[in-house]
């Protein structure tokens, strides 16, 4: 299998963490959506990464679908197959995906020339991120894991999303959400997280805030 994606994309990182957690072999082709090589747009009409090319040549895109597919291939499921745990885990994944979408939308806007930026759009995205952090902190029940008593897609996706906030929208969220910060400090010690840190991201896990 081949995974196309950039090293800084959090959606790609989710898939890379999942591959490592499940011990699935997959070649990573480092290519961004607008790379002149053009493989991404040729494979995915939406022109986004990640894109997965399966061994039979079939192509999958959008990180939640790729996660479902890879999880079905081998090993203990990271996405519970049935019951309440499945819906709870997928809700955490949806929350994490929404955080990523908001951080990316904000980032795109703040990267525009100052006179072209929309302060309303930036505020709207920041409001979503702040509300999602509050929700996550209050909805989190377990000590080590978000759903059940073992690592799941919920921990994987939220862990990647929180680290992406630190990477692209660093702010003092740990002051308000110490429990969540403590949980992230535990999750992010996993090898799958340590081995997929985006270039340029400094971890602030030991930061006093």
Ligand X SMILES: N[C@@H](CCC(=O)N[C@@H](CS)C(=O)NCC(=O)O)C(=O)O
Binding site for ligand X (CB under 6 A): 9, 11, 33, 47-50, 62-63, 104
Q: How far is the CB of 169 from ligand X (least distance, A)?
A: 14
CB nearer to ligand X: pick between 51 and 187? 51
Strands (E), 31-73: 51-53, 59-61
Q: How far is the CB of 198 from ligand X (least distance, A)?
A: 10
CB nearer to ligand X: pick between 48 and 88? 48
Q: How far is the CB of 70 from ligand X (least distance, A)?
A: 13
CA–CA dist 97, 143 (Å, integer): 22
First to last CA, the chain: 41
CA–CA dist 32, 40 (Å, integer): 7
Q: How far is the CB of 50 from ligand X (least distance, A)?
A: 6
Query: Structure tokens of 135?
Result: 């929700």
Q: How far is the CB of 178 from ligand X (least distance, A)?
A: 29
* Backbone phi and psi for residue 152, each to the nearest 5 degrees, phi listed first: -140, 180
Q: Which candidate, 43, 41, 39, places its Cα nearest to that of 30? A: 39
Q: How far is the CB of 63 from ligand X (least distance, A)?
A: 3
Q: How far is CA 22 from CA 1, 71, 94, 103, 153, in A?
A: 14, 8, 21, 27, 11
CB nearer to ligand X: pick between 63 and 196? 63
CB nearer to ligand X: pick between 167 and 183? 167
CB nearer to ligand X: pick between 148 and 197? 197
CB nearer to ligand X: pick between 105 and 122? 105
What size, in residues, is the chain? 209
Do the Cβ atoms of 3 and 16 come closer than 8 Å? yes
Strands (E), the chain: 2-5, 27-30, 51-53, 59-61
């Amino acid at each position: 299998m081949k995974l196309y994606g950039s090293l800084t994309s959090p959606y790609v990182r989710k898939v890379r963490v999942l591959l490592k957690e499940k011990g699935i072999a997959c070649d990573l082709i480092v290519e961004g959506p607008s790379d002149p090589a053009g493989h991404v747009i040729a494979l995915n009409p939406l022109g986004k990464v990640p894109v997965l090319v399966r061994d039979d040549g079939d192509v999958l895109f959008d990180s939640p679908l790729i996660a479902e597919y890879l999880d079905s291939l081998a090993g203990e499921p990271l996405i519970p197959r049935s019951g309440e745990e499945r819906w709870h885990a997928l809700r955490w994944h949806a929350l994490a995906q929404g955080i990523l979408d908001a951080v990316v939308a904000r980032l795109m806007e703040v990267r525009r020339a100052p006179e072209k930026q929309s302060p309303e759009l930036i505020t709207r995205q920041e409001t979503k991120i702040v509300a999602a952090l509050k929700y996550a902190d209050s909805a989190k029940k377990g000590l080590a894991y978000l759903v059940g008593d073992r690592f799941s897609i919920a921990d994987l996706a939220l862990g990647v999303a929180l680290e992406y906030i630190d990477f692209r929208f660093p702010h003092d969220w740990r002051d308000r959400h110490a429990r969540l910060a403590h949980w992230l400090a535990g999750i992010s010690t996993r090898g799958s997280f340590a081995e997929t840190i985006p270039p340029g991201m400094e971890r602030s896990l030991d930061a006093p805030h």
